[in-house]
Structure 1
């Protein structure tokens, strides 16, 4: 019999793409707010309820649930939602597994590369570095602590946390938002353009989850970013080149982005580099290690 993998964040980009791969070797189930298919099970974080049938005979959980950090301004209420959608969902899963005396082979959780803080420096962060001290760092620390509880309380044999950078996809996220102005010939870098953007191709982040699932010796945190470092300017210029569009507009001033997005603007105006050597040393191979090849693949249509 196939092992059963339960995925949260069913409507997210990574969950949709990852599930297509896993269905060949695993039985895939989803936790979702509204059941639409036979392999979906409902949960309601507000009420603290979950369909416990989702956990019957499962071996692995891939925890991808989380409200988008860049979708709305960071009001006090939105900040609570960003944290709760990651942390309280993990706690609900843990509580349900404990209640039903179920154990996992692995709990694999999304995490964020902003663990190290949101600032532009020349440092290249590794998994050994301490967390930062801003909001996104706080979110990620709490997220990972919630994941580690599965190991600490002996519910999962191992916990893997993938500190994910900017996922490049033409379907969703940062790249999709960049494309309309670029295609209209009015694209430009944001702020100074010198802020680093730790990035990863959608194909590679899905491959990394699959790699983490299939290699039981993996545990702990891994930076899920491509080997090649790039700035916001690099991304903008290379995308424009591939689209054969001019890039003559001035940079979008930082103060304009701050007026529009408030505190959230730091997520696009700042960024540092991170090393992926740890996951590579574990045997993972990137299909798209270089930004230009990644963009050519995503923008080929």
Structure 2
């Protein structure tokens, strides 16, 4: 397949490219030379979508780009950056898909479980009625809902759209876990708040395999929870990580400390979703890492 990808140099994107070595991948990057160097020359790199009148030359588009949502406090300026880094690029991709007569057969576009809002211990699959049961002042929900609405406009008889409602992607050299490991390795790790909030997680290997599965499964369409079958509470996650590292687990981070440090963005850590991957499993996708203890042991041992 000829595949156009955004976010190809990121944590998930670079791992995905390794799994797509049998395909011809073009990566959209603000710095094509650096992208080619980073990705080992296995890809084509372009600086702008403006060089394409349409995307008829591609079989599929995978859209993973977006400003990190948890790295900084959510000032109004940062909120705009988070939103428009997702919405504007997705709009451009949709317009290019719509402009062609033989568009890509598949458009896979990012989202997150944050679209569900804080649902405490309610088990959530893709049938959850988002529009009726979520606080629409929730910023993460707002970002994801609009992102998905834009992406779905690419859908037609010729193009199917898959939305990746992603949980916390676990890998040793990137994402949230890479930031968590240093304090845990020093014996300073512990749950956040009271630890009762659910943590929907997925091993990086399963994340990549699931995207490839969706790419290669013509019947796959709509939103998919990219989360492991067994979500756990933050307390259980924290205990399991400390055990995998063979470190003590006696401290915790009070909620008010996070709120002081991150402001509104602390909601991503203090709230949660007990999301399960019902649609993926129904289609026949088999998770390699179903339980958090096996996943973290694998990552720590890597």
Compute the TM-score of the two structures, normalised by the length of structure 1.
0.92
Q: Does 1:243 align with 2:245?
A: yes
> Displacement of 1:76 after TM fit?
0.8
Distance 2:172 2:12 in 1: 13
Distance 1:166 1:10 in 2: 18
Cα offset, 1:22, TM superposition? 0.8
When structure 1 is superposed on structure 2, of 176-185 and 95-104 the one drifting more is: 95-104
SS of 2:16 mapped into structure 1: helix
Which whole-Å deviations, capped at 9, do the CAs of 1:8-60 have from their partners, x for residues lacking one? 01221111000111112x111101111113600012xxxxx633289462110
Match of 2:155 in 1: 151
Give 1:86 shift: 1.1
* 1:259 equivalent in structure 2: 260
Q: 1:21 to 1:53 in 2, by over 3 A?
A: farther
SS in 1 for 2:66: coil
Q: Structure 2: how far apart are the matches of 1:246 and 1:280?
A: 36
Distance 2:143 2:11 in 1: 20
Deviation readout 1:151-201 (Å, 9 max, x if unpaired): 15x6x5210111100101111122111111111111111111111000000
1:35 maps to 2:36: no
Partner in structure 1 of residue 39 of structure 2: none
**Structure 1 residues 92-101 or 264-273, which shifts more?**
92-101
Cα deviation digits, residues 87-108 of structure 1 (max 9, x gap): 1101112223444545110101
Matched with 1:195 is 197
Aligned 8 A contact 1:124 1:275 in 2:
yes
Q: 1:177 to 1:210 in 2, by over 3 A?
A: same
- 1:140 and 2:144 aligned: yes
Partner of 1:20: 18
Pair 145,120 (structure 1): closer, same or farther in 2 beyond 3 Å: closer
Match of 2:188 in 1: 186
Contact 1:120–1:195 at 8 Å: present in 2 too? no
- 1:198-218 CA-to-partner distances (Å, cap 9, x unmatched) read 000000010010000001111
Give 1:120 deviation, angstroms: 4.9
Kindly report which structure 2 residues correspond to 1:1-301, keeping only aligned pairs within 5 A, or say none: 3-24=1-22, 26-36=23-33, 37=36, 39-43=44-48, 50-52=50-52, 55=55, 57-99=57-99, 101-117=101-117, 119-131=118-130, 132=134, 133=136, 134-151=138-155, 156-249=158-251, 251-301=252-302
Structure 2: segments with no counterpart, 5+ residues: 37-42
Q: Matched residue of 1:151: which SS?
A: coil
RMSD of aligned Cα (Å)? 1.6
Q: Tell me which moved more, 12-21 or 31-40.
A: 31-40
Distance 1:54 1:29, change over 3 A: farther
With normalisation by structure 2, the TM-score equals 0.91
SS of match in other structure, 2:268:
helix
Contact 1:7–1:31 at 8 Å: present in 2 too? yes
SS in 1 for 2:194: coil
Measure the CA separation in 2 of the matches of 1:300 and 1:50.
44
